[in-house]
Amino acid sequence: MKEMKFYGRAMPGIEIEPYSGKLIVIEGTDGVGRSTHVALLRSWLEAAGHAVLDTGMTRSILAGRGIKDARAGHTLGRLTMQLYYATDFADRLQNQMLPALRAGFVVLTDRYIYSAIARAVVRGADPDWIRSIYGIALVPDSIFYLRVRSPEELAGRVLASGRGFDYWESGMDLGLGNDYYDSFIAYQKLLLREFDRMKGEYGFEVIDASRPVRRVAGELKRSVARIVENEGSAANPSPKEVVKPEARVEAKPNVMPVVKETSKSAP
């Protein structure tokens, strides 16, 4: 059990109490392989008997669809986009991640607040402003930052994946280059610089993601094993930690326990 710690103040209605789950963040720029590694970690953790919730940006019930529609239209202003993402994050934190953590799940999140901060700062937002908005975030148990050496390497991966360059991932709204490739390189370079700046501030564990997937996955597993097993839950699970693998929560967050107002939030 660990006490909940937030970067700033917790959202109203959240009871600050010890939780038995683990919040593990996989961060990194576009095309670095985050979703591949989240999927690999998930199967591996489930095979070891851990209940897993995986989540990521724009996957909230509340704002996910709205953000996708707005992105598709390419008409999203900078401030609007950042606040829309913050809304999405707040919804997932309160309705998915925190209930799962209380119930003892390992929560794997594909990006957390750091990507949102990096994107906002690269777009000219006040770094203190965006950080204080995300003061509502729970401090994770671990943050793995998948890092590649150059934006050119990311571009190669995006091409190899077959999906090609995306308008927003290429930072086309910033007008940094004449075409998607030039813009992608310039934009990702700025993001890499922001991530490097945040490394010390937030205590990222840097994983060299320029290596083959198998080796990166191996290192992640070893590190994650240290986190989830330091309480002996995998080797000798206590009864309340035995959760059936099918007890996944992301599809029906409305059935998750929602903690209601306590006296502290009454003004």
Residues binding another protein (CB under 8 A): 8-9, 11-13, 61-63, 65-66, 69-70, 73, 75-80, 82-84, 86-87, 90-91, 94-95, 124-126, 129, 132-133, 135-136, 260-261, 265-267
Per residue in 56-89, is it b (16+ CB within 10 Å) or e — as a string?
bbbbbeebbeebeebbeeeebeeeebbebbbebb
Residue closer to another protein, measured from CB, 83 or 186: 83
Cβ atoms of 241 and 104 within 8 Å: the answer is yes
Residue closer to another protein, measured from CB, 235 or 251: 251
Q: How far is the CB of 149 from another protein (least distance, A)?
A: 31
Residue closer to another protein, measured from CB, 243 or 259: 259
Q: How far is the CB of 26 from another protein (least distance, A)?
A: 24
* Inter-CA distances, 84 with 37, 68, 79, 218, 252, Å: 26, 10, 9, 35, 22
Q: How far is the CB of 185 from another protein (least distance, A)?
A: 25
Q: How far is the CB of 126 from another protein (least distance, A)?
A: 4
Residue closer to another protein, measured from CB, 53 or 133: 133
| Structure-block tokens of residue 8 | 């700033």
Among 128, 100, 131, 106, CA closest to 52: 106
Q: How far is the CB of 21 from another protein (least distance, A)?
A: 20
78: amino acid identity, one letter: R
| Structure-block tokens of residue 55 | 């989540």
* End-to-end C-alpha distance for the chain, whole angstroms: 30
Q: How far is the CB of 254 from another protein (least distance, A)?
A: 9
Q: How far is the CB of 96 from another protein (least distance, A)?
A: 12
CA distance 35 to 59: 13
Residue closer to another protein, measured from CB, 61 or 206: 61
Give DSSP secondary structure letters for 68-125. Answer: HHHHHHT---HHHHHHHHHHHHHHHIIIIIHHHHHTTPEEEEES-HHHHHHHHHHTT-
* Inter-CA distances, 224 with 39, 111, 143, 248, Å: 14, 16, 10, 20
Residue closer to another protein, measured from CB, 130 or 146: 130
Residue closer to another protein, measured from CB, 124 or 239: 124
Q: How far is the CB of 84 from another protein (least distance, A)?
A: 5
Residue closer to another protein, measured from CB, 69 or 152: 69
Q: For the chain, what's the residue count?
A: 267
